[in-house]
């Protein structure tokens, strides 16, 4: 920020807000009220930040609809967070992407590059790979053989795209992400501990000379348009079917998505989520941080899985689930209520415990027990 300058009228038009102008000021950045200066558009999107405007140096502020502040220019908006996104796009300075093709890049002669493709230092593009128009591959990106990358994509340094992976247009993949590694899939000659526990509920016989065989991954990964994938996230290829990520889905850093998973459109998956193999996630599902999903379960459209949930079974559409093992939110709250009631019951029992003991003693002495 600081390299671009706008009038209040221009910013009000960009965010579709109502401008009440108290002074003429040029804006070169946006910031919270506490650190804003005279050339900052302060962001007072909630009650706490509105209160902070009393001591702010800012002469202009973005506020929710209906908020007026004396002596300060205001831009009122109906959806502050949406306006916030538009403002940050205005002031955003894109990373420096390579120009043309760096001489240290290794590109197989059979690869097909679209128009205006940018390829950075030490990039590898395998045989028969296809890179769409205007896509930028920053240094140290690896593109496997037969991979297809759409147009207007941006891959940050260290991204690894496996063989035959298909990625749509306008996708952003951040540092160190791995797309298309083999799935975590193995088999033993004889039933192993996990199989015994599932079928019999206990581990009865242990084979100490177990042999574990890798199951090859013949499938691929298909990623739709406008997907963003965070740093160091891993998405494994399918065993036979493809692992699928729907269009508009946003995936945070450090997420693990197992083989054969099918993730719907416009989902939001937050950091440190782990999704085991062959899960089916509907459209517009939100999975909050550190949630874990068991293999072969389905989560219906428009569901929300709250943070640190341990999801071991399927849930229908529009479910809100939490806890470990995860249950519907209403049931979780009911259980908490039961725990509170149980605590009260224990306290009452302790209060009258001596009376119960005396009564039992009386019965014993009377010979009735």
* Residue-range domain boundaries for the chain: 6-91, 106-327, 330-369
Read off the pLDDT of each residue in 330-347 and give the average, rounded to a whole number: 85
Q: What band does 86 get if pLDDT is binned at 50, 70 and 90? A: very high
* pTM of the full structure: 0.85
In three-state form (DSSP H/G/I as H, E/B as E, the rest C), the secondary structure along 232-297 is CCEEECCCCCCEEECCCCEECCCCEECCCCEECCCCEECCCCEECCCCEECCCCEECCCCEECCCC
Measure Cα distances from 200 to 25, 189, 194, 209 in Å: 74, 18, 10, 21
Q: Is the per-residue pLDDT at 361 higher than 90?
A: no
Report the alpha-carbon distance of residue 242 to residue 229 in Å, rounded. 18
The per-residue pLDDT for range 296-337, each reduced to its tens digit, is 999 999 999 999 999 999 999 999 999 999 999 999 988 888
The per-residue pLDDT for 196 is 80
Q: What is the pLDDT of residue 368?
A: 54
Under the phi-then-psi rule, with left for phi > 0, alpha for psi from -120 to 50, and beta for the rest, what region is 284?
left
Two tokens, residue 136: 């930028």
CA dist 158 and 140 (Å) reads 5
Average model confidence (pLDDT) for the chain? 93
**What is the predicted pLDDT for the residue at 312?**
96
Going by their DSSP bridges, the two strands 166-167 and 280-281 should be labelled as unpaired
Q: What is the pLDDT of residue 367?
A: 59
Confidence of residue 1 (pLDDT cuts 50, 70, 90): very low
| CA dist., res. 143 & res. 256, Å (int) | 20
Task: Give the pLDDT of residue 258.
Answer: 98
Pairwise pLDDT comparison (62 vs 366), residue with the higher score: 62
Report the SS3 class of residue 73: strand
29-54 tens-digit pLDDT: 999 999 999 999 999 999 999 999 99
- B/e letters for 70-80, b = 16+ CB within 10 Å, e = fewer, are eebbbbbbeeb
Q: Residue range 246-264: average pLDDT?
A: 98
CATH for the stretch 6-91: 3.40.1390.10
- Catalytic residue annotation: 259
Q: What is the pLDDT of residue 354?
A: 84
Give the model confidence (pLDDT) of 193-249 as tens digits: 888 888 888 887 787 788 899 999 999 999 999 999 999 999 999 999 999 999 999
The average pLDDT across 82-107 equals: 92
CATH match of 106-327 with 2.160.10.10: yes
State what percent of residues in the chain have pLDDT above 90. 79
Q: What is the largest CA-CA distance in the chain?
A: 101
Predicted pLDDT of residue 304: 98
């Amino acid at each position: 920020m600081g390299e671009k300058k706008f009038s209040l009228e221009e910013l009000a038009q960009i965010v579709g807000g109502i401008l009440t102008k108290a002074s003429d000021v040029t804006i070169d950045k946006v910031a919270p009220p506490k650190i804003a200066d005279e050339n900052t558009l302060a962001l007072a999107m909630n009650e706490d930040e509105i209160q902070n405007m009393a001591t702010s140096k800012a002469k202009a502020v973005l506020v929710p609809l209906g908020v007026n502040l004396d002596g300060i220019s205001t831009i009122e908006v109906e959806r502050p967070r949406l306006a916030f996104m538009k403002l940050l796009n205005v002031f955003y300075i894109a990373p420096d992407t390579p120009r043309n093709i760096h001489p240290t890049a290794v590109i197989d002669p059979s690869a097909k590059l679209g128009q205006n493709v940018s390829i950075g230092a030490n990039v590898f593009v395998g045989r028969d790979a296809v890179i769409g128009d205007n896509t930028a591959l920053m240094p140290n990106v690896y593109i496997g053989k037969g991979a297809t990358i759409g147009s207007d994509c941006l891959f940050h340094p260290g991204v690894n795209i496996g063989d035959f992976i298909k990625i749509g247009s306008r996708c952003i993949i951040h540092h160190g992400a791995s797309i298309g590694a083999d799935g975590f899939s193995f088999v033993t000659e004889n039933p192993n501990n996990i199989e015994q526990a599932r079928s019999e509920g206990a581990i009865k016989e242990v084979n100490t000379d177990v042999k574990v065989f890798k199951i090859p991954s013949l499938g691929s990964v298909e990623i739709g348009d406008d997907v963003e994938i965070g740093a160091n996230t891993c998405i494994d290829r399918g065993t036979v079917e493809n692992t699928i990520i729907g269009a508009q889905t946003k995936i945070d850093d450090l997420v693990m998505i197992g083989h054969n998973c099918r993730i719907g459109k416009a989902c939001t998956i937050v950091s440190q989520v782990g999704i085991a193999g062959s899960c089916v996630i509907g459209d517009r599902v939100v999975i909050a941080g550190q949630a874990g999903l068991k293999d072969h379960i389905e989560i219906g459209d428009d569901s929300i899985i709250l943070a640190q949930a341990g999801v071991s079974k399927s849930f229908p559409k529009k479910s809100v689930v939490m806890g470990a093992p995860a249950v519907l939110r209403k049931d979780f709250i009911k259980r908490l209520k039961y725990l509170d009631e149980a605590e009260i019951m224990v306290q009452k029992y302790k209060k009258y415990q001596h009376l119960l003991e005396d009564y039992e003693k009386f019965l014993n002495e009377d010979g009735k027990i």
